[in-house]
């Protein structure tokens, strides 16, 4: 019995090791190539930088100096932070309301949120883009409600699951203690939702930060976000691409989101477990 468990553990460990290698390999490629000169990247993409090919941080300097990257970075930061804040605040309130106030209408609303999760973006992107442009949402502020819409399905689903596990008595105690519904939410319910709120924030931040298609369609080349800017700026004339700068900018683009993830990861695990065990 013990022997079998050992074999099984060894097997699953090697499988997971292989999987993480598969996932980490592209990131490894991007990082090593960001330190190589652009001619060596195309020729020997898998080679570790050596004396001949190593160019130091030249690629990074070139990348940053090329037009629009810094602006794009702060624009993306603004869009991500604002959208994530909007998603966390609005969807947690929605989930609380539709979970606590039982009515047919609320049930339908809940299922609409669930349904929105399974509709692929590509299915709605053209109609949605034209509606958004007509509504004047094709700017940095206007894209925030669009992200709120796309992010709310999963977020409402996650918050609802957690709200269901919260004892209602705590909210009733707050009501007796003199809280209005709004105050009950912000002083009592929202602090209890913290683990889920952080999980929702991480999931949405990663997706919005890395998103290419939606900002490309709505903001185009006027208000470029980071992913759009890297794609458009590094692409020179006649299809020539500065691969070195490209790689360097990709490294810079993933650093903030990985840092954010690392800071919050202990909460994401807690959030997932809380929902699973109590729900």
Partner 1 sequence: MASISLKNIKKTYEDGVTVIEDLNLEIKDKEFVILVGPSGCGKSTTLRMIAGLEEITDGEMYIGDKLVNDVSPKNRDIAMVFQSYALYPHMNVYKNMAFGLKNRKVPKDIIDKKVHEAAKMLDIEQYLNRKPRALSGGQRQRVALGRAMVREPAVFLLDEPLSNLDAKLRTEMRSRISMLHKELQTTFVYVTHDQTEAMTMGDRIVVMKDGKIMQNDTPQMLYNHPQNMFVAGFIGSPQMNFIYCKIVRNTDGYYAQFENYNIKLPDRMNDALSLYTDKEVVLGIRPENIHLAKDTKKKSFEMYIDIAEMTGSDYYLYGKLGGKNIIANVPSNMQIKSDTTCSMLIDTDRLHIFDKVSENLICD
Task: Please name the residues in contact with 260: beta carbons below 8 A apart, sequence gap of 6 or more.
Answer: 202, 205
Q: Min. distance of Cβ 213 from partner 1 in angstroms?
A: 39
What is the footprint of partner 1 within residues 88-117 (CB under 8 A)?
102
CA distance 93 to 148: 13
Q: Min. distance of Cβ 270 from partner 1 in angstroms?
A: 13
Q: Min. distance of Cβ 187 from partner 1 in angstroms?
A: 8
State which of residues 70, 170, 213, 276 lies at the interface with partner 1 (CB under 8 A). Answer: 170
Find residue 54's DSSP bridge partners.
36
Q: Is 175 in the site for partner 1 (CB under 8 A)?
A: yes
User: Which residue's entry shows tokens 């990257």?
Assistant: 69
Size of the site for partner 1 (CB under 8 A): 18
State which of residues 47, 177, 221, 279 lies at the interface with partner 1 (CB under 8 A). Answer: 177
Of the pair 57, 187, the CB lying nearest partner 1 is at 187
What is the helix (H) or strand (E) element at residue 236, kind and residue range?
none
Q: Is 169 in the site for partner 1 (CB under 8 A)?
A: yes
Q: Is 277 in the site for partner 1 (CB under 8 A)?
A: no
State which of residues 18, 57, 133, 173 lies at the interface with partner 1 (CB under 8 A). Answer: 173
Q: Is 188 in the site for partner 1 (CB under 8 A)?
A: yes
Q: Min. distance of Cβ 256 from partner 1 in angstroms?
A: 28
CA distance 104 to 254: 44
CA distance 275 to 164: 9
Q: Is 167 in the site for partner 1 (CB under 8 A)?
A: yes
State which of residues 84, 174, 202, 234 lies at the interface with partner 1 (CB under 8 A). Answer: 174
Task: Please name the residues in contact with 259: beta carbons below 8 A apart, sequence gap of 6 or more.
Answer: none
State which of residues 100, 164, 183, 270 lies at the interface with partner 1 (CB under 8 A). Answer: 183
State which of residues 56, 120, 136, 178 lies at the interface with partner 1 (CB under 8 A). Answer: 178
Judging by beta carbons within 10 Å of its beta carbon (0-12, 13-18, 19+), is residue 113 exposed, middle or buried? buried
Q: Is 194 in the site for partner 1 (CB under 8 A)?
A: yes
Q: Min. distance of Cβ 167 from partner 1 in angstroms?
A: 6
Query: Per residue in 220-232, is it b (16+ CB within 10 Å) or e — as a string?
Result: eeebbbbbbbbee
CA distance 10 to 193: 38
- DSSP character string of 183-198: HIIIIIIHHHTHHHHH
CA distance 262 to 75: 23
Phi, psi torsion values for 235, nearest 5 degrees: -85, 105
Q: Is 273 in the site for partner 1 (CB under 8 A)?
A: no
Of the pair 179, 252, the CB lying nearest partner 1 is at 179
Q: Which residues bind partner 1 (CB under 8 A)?
A: 102, 167, 169-170, 172-179, 183, 187-188, 191-192, 194
């Amino acid at each position: 019995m013990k022997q079998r468990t050992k074999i099984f553990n060894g097997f699953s460990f090697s499988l997971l090791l292989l999987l993480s290698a598969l996932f980490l390999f592209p990131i490894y490629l991007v990082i090593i190539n960001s330190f190589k000169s652009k001619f060596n990247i195309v020729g020997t993409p898998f080679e570790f930088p050596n004396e001949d090919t190593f160019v130091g941080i030249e690629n990074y300097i070139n990348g940053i100096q090329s037009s629009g990257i810094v602006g794009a970075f702060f624009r993306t930061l603004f869009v991500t932070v604002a959208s994530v804040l909007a998603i966390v605040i609005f969807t947690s309130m929605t989930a609380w309301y539709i979970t606590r106030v039982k009515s047919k209408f609320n049930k339908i609303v809940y299922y609409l949120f669930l349904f929105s999760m399974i509709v692929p973006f590509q299915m709605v992107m053209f109609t949605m883009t034209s509606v958004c442009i007509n509504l004047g949402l094709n700017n940095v502020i206007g894209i925030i409600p669009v992200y709120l819409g796309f992010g709310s399905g999963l977020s409402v689903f996650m918050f609802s699951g957690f709200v269901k596990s919260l004892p209602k008595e705590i909210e009733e105690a707050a009501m007796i203690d003199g809280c209005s519904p709004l105050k009950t939410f912000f002083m009592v319910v929202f602090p209890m939702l913290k683990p889920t709120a952080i999980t929702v924030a991480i999931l949405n931040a990663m997706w919005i930060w890395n998103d290419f298609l939606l900002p490309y369609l709505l903001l185009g080349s006027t208000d470029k976000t980071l992913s759009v800017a890297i794609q458009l700026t590094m692409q020179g004339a006649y299809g020539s691409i500065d691969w070195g700068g490209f790689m360097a900018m990709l490294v810079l683009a993933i650093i903030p989101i990985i840092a954010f993830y690392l800071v919050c990861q202990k909460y994401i695990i807690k959030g997932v477990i809380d929902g699973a065990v109590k729900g």
